[in-house]
A and B are shown apart, each in its own frame.
Chain A
Amino acid sequence: MSLYIFYISNFLLLLCLTASLIQFGKIINNKIFTRPGVIVLAYVQLISILLSFLILIYLFLISDFNFDLVYFNSHSEKPLIYKFSGVWGNHEGSMLLWILILVLFNFLFALSRRISERFKEITVAVQSIMIFGFVAFLFFLSNPFALNQNNFFDGIGLNPILQDPLLAIHPPVLYVGYVGFSLVFSLAIAGLITKEVDQQWASIVKPWVFSAWAFLTAGIALGSFWAYYELGWGGYWFWDPVENASLMPWIAATALIHCVLILQKRNVMQSWTIILAILTFSLSLVGTFLVRSGILNSVHTFASDPGRGLFILLFIFLILVFSFSLFAYNSEKINKINSMGLVSRGTGIQVNNWLLITILTIVFLGTMYPLATDLLLNKSLTVGPKYYSTTIAPIIILFLFFMFISPRLGWTDTKLYKIIIQMRYLIITSLTITLIISLYFELFNLTEILIIFFSLLLVISSVTASINFNKQNILVRTNLGQNLAHAGFGILMMAVVSNAVYSEERIYNAKVGDNLQLQKYIFSFDKIEQVEESNYNSLKAYFLMKKDGKLIDTFTPEIRFYSNPPTITSEASILHKFFSDIYLVMNVPQDQQSISVRMHIKPFMTILWLGTLMIIIGGIISASIRIGRVDEK
C-alpha cells in the first residue's frame, strides 16, 4: 500500500514539473507549445499538487510510519488536530504547503479576466518557472514521500511547543502572505518585459498585493500572539532573527502597497514600484527559508538543515540577478515623466517610503550582523533589543507625522499652513490629551511623548476622515480601508509605547497557602495537582486572584511533561482585560516544597491586538474595493 502511495505521489510531483515547464515554454516558443492552453495547464498544476498535499495529510492521519516524514514528525498518540497540523510542522511538509499556495495563486490569476493574453501568459510563465524550481527542490532535495525500510512501531513526535491550535494556522496564513508576493513579483517581471508599467498595471496588481499584505500582517500577528502566551516570557516581540525575517518583507510590502496606489492615481514612480516588488518577494524568500535553514540562531529554531539553505540562497541570488538585469535593461522605457507637486500627498508617501527603507535597513543590519561575524570572524554575538528600539523610535515619530499629514494633502501642490489651520482643533485636542496622559502617568521621555502625540493625531484624524457626510446627510464611504488601517497603526504604536513603559513583573517562590501581591491584587496559592492527559502529564497550580477580599478569577499556570519527544513546557495562565493583561507562569520546583511563579501586568495588550486587527481588516477592505472609490474633496 505504502509503495503505491509512494509511486502515485511522486508521479503527481513529476506531472506538475512537466506542466510548469510547458507553461514556461509558451513564452519561449508559442508555436510548439500552443496546446494545452494556459488554463488547462494551470488546472493540472493545481490538481497535481493539491492531490499530493491531500495524500500527505492522509499519511499523517493514518500514521503511516513507513514514510520518513511521518515517522520523524508524528506519533500515533498525538491528538488528531496535531497530526493534521504536523503536516506543515516540518521542512518538507511546509515546502509542499508553500508550493500548493504558489500554484493556487497562479491558478487564480490564470482565471482572472480583462487582462491581455500576452500579459497573462508572461506572468503565468514567470510564476511557473518558480513552481518548477520549487517542485524540483522538493522532489530531489527534500522529498516528503521518502520511504524507509524499517517497520517502525511508532513515530518520534512533534515538538510540543508546536502542538498548539494557533500554530496550526500561523504557517498557512503567513505563507499566503509570502507567496502572494510571488505573484506580484511575476506581474512586475511581466510589466518589465511588456514595458507596460502604468495605471492599468497598478489596478491589476492592487487586489493581489493588498491581500498578500493583509495575510502577511495576520501571519506575523498570529506568530506574535503565540509567542506571547506560549514562550512564557510575557513579551510579544523579541527582535529575534526569525521574527525579523518576517518583519522585513512586511516593511518592504508596506512601502509597495502605497507605491502601487500612487502609480494607479498619478502614473508616477514606476521604477521604484518595480524595485519594491522585487525586493518584497526576495525578502519573503529569505523570510521563509532562513527560518527553515537553521542558519539563524533563534528562540524559534525547530527542524533545520543548513545544506538546504544553500539551494535557497542560490535561488534568491538567481532571482535577484535576473530581475535586476531585466530592470536595468528596461527601466528607462517604463518611466514616464509625470511630476508631482512638492508639498503633495505623493511627496508625503515618498518620504515615508524612504523612512520605511531606513527601518528595513536597521532591521536588516541587526539581523545579518551576527550572521556575518559568525561566518567571517568566527565570533558569536547577539544584538540586544535596545538597538532596535532606540534606532527605530525617532524614525517612527517622523513616520507618524507624515502618515498623519499626507492623506490631508492634495495630489498637486498644497499650502501646508492652510492644512494646519484646517486641522487646528484636532491638533489642540491631541496636544491636550497627550499633556494630560504624560502628567497623569508621569511620562517624561520626549520620544515616548512625541510618539503618543502623533499617534493620537493620526488616530483622531483618520477616524474623523472616515466619518463623512454628503449634502443629504448620508454617511459616505471614503477610503475606509486606508483610514481603518492608519488608525489601527496609531493605536498599535500607542499600545506598544505604553506597554513598554508600564509593564510590571514580580517573581516569587511560593508554597501552598501563600498570599502573593501584585499591585492591588492578591493571589492565594490554593493547591497544586498532577493531571494526566492523553499525550502529556501536567503539574497544575491554582491561584485565586482577589481584589479587596473579593474573588475575581482563578489562574492555573501549568507545566507539561511530554514524552514524545521528551520535553517540558510552561503554559502561562492569562487574564485578558481591556486595559491590561495579568499573566502568570510557573517553573519546575527547585526543591519539592515551593514553586517559582512569575507574574506580569501587561497593560494595553488587548488594545495592541485590536490595533493590529484594524490594520488587517483595513488591508482586506482595500484589497476588495476595486477602482471606483469616492475620493474626498
Chain B
Amino acid sequence: MSSLVKSRLIKFLLSLIIVSIAVLIIIFNLRDNIIYFYGPTDLLKNSDKQGQIMRLGGLVSVDSFQNETDSIFYFSITDGENEIDVKYEGILPNLFAEDKGVVVEGVYMNDGRFIANKVLAKHDENYMPPEVIETLKKSGKWQGE
C-alpha cells in the first residue's frame, strides 16, 4: 500500500469512528426524549408504560366532561372500545368538545388514570389528528372516508 492510500485510509477510519460515536450519542439522547402516542386500547395493552410522559388520543366521550373548578377538568378519551379517564389542569383549547378528536400529553398513572398537562390544540373545527384517525380505524369506529 502506498503511503498516500495508507494515510487516507487512516483518516477515513478515524472520521468514521468519530462520526459513529457522535451519532450514537445523539441517538441515545433522542431515545430519552421520545414521546410515544397511544390510543386507549393500545395504552391498556402497554400498561408497563405507567409513569412515562406520553400522548393519548381519541374522541372525548359523550357526557364525560366535568369541571371541578374553573381550571381542573375531568373527561374520558375513547376509541369506541376502551376508555381512559383523564384529569387536566389548565386552559382547554377553543375547539375542545365532547365527541370531537383530542390529543393530550401527560403521564399514565398506576391507578389507571391519565394526568394530562397539555391538551394539544388545532385550529380547524373539522380537523382530526392523524393518530386519532388511525386509532379509530384500528377499533373500527372510523366513519370518514
Contacts and interface: CB of A to CB of B under 8 A. Distances in A.
Contacts of A366: 30
B74 interface: no
Interface string B66-95: 010011000000000000000000111111
Interface of B: 22-23, 25-27, 29-30, 32-37, 53, 55, 67, 70-71, 90-95, 122-126, 130-131, 134
Contacts of A587: 91-94
B22 A358 contact: yes
Interface of A: 159-161, 297, 299, 358, 361-362, 365-366, 369, 379-384, 386-387, 390-391, 507, 509, 559, 565-570, 587-588, 590-591, 594, 596, 598
Contacts of A590: 67, 70, 92
A361 B94 contact: no
A594 B22 CA distance: 52
What are the 4 closest A-B residue pairs judged by CB atoms, nearest first?
Answer: A387-B33, A509-B70, A380-B37, A384-B33
A431 B127 CA distance: 52
A365 B131 contact: no
A391 B22 CA distance: 11
A598 B121 CA distance: 15
Nearest to A511: B70
Contact of A383 (B33, B123, B124): B33
A365 B125 contact: no
Contacts of B134: 380
Given A361-B23, A382-B35, A587-B91, A369 B123 contact: no
A594 B122 CA distance: 22
A361 B18 CA distance: 14
Contacts of B125: 565-568
A596 B91 contact: yes
Chain A CB within 10 Å — which of B25, B30, B55, B93 has the most?
B30
Contact of A570 (B30, B94, B131): B94
Nearest to A593: B70
B139 to A, nearest CB: 15
A365 B131 CA distance: 21
Contacts of B33: 383-384, 386-387, 390
26 contacts: A159-B123, A159-B124, A361-B23, A365-B30, A369-B30, A379-B37, A380-B131, A381-B37, A382-B37, A383-B33, A383-B34, A384-B53, A387-B29, A387-B33, A391-B26, A507-B91, A565-B124, A566-B125, A566-B126, A568-B123, A570-B94, A587-B94, A588-B94, A590-B70, A590-B92, A596-B91
A213 to B, nearest CB: 26
Contact of A390 (B29, B34, B53, B124): B29
A161 B33 CA distance: 30
B29 A391 contact: yes
B108 to A, nearest CB: 15
Contacts of B93: 587
A509 B71 contact: yes
A383 B22 contact: no
B35 A383 contact: yes
B34 A567 contact: no
A559 B94 CA distance: 9
Given A507-B91, A590-B67, A381 B124 contact: no
B122 to A, nearest CB: 8
A119 B22 CA distance: 40
Contact of B34 (A299, A381, A588, A596): A381
Contacts of A381: 34-37
Contacts of B55: 380, 382
Contacts of B37: 379-382
Contacts of B131: 297, 380
Given A297-B130, A391-B26, A587-B94, 19 more contacts: A361-B23, A361-B26, A365-B27, A365-B30, A379-B37, A380-B36, A380-B134, A381-B37, A391-B29, A507-B71, A509-B70, A559-B94, A565-B125, A567-B123, A569-B94, A569-B123, A588-B94, A590-B70, A590-B92
Nearest to A570: B94
Nearest to B39: A380
Chain A CB within 10 Å — which of B30, B32, B93, B123 has the most?
B123
Contact of A362 (B26, B70, B71, B95): B26
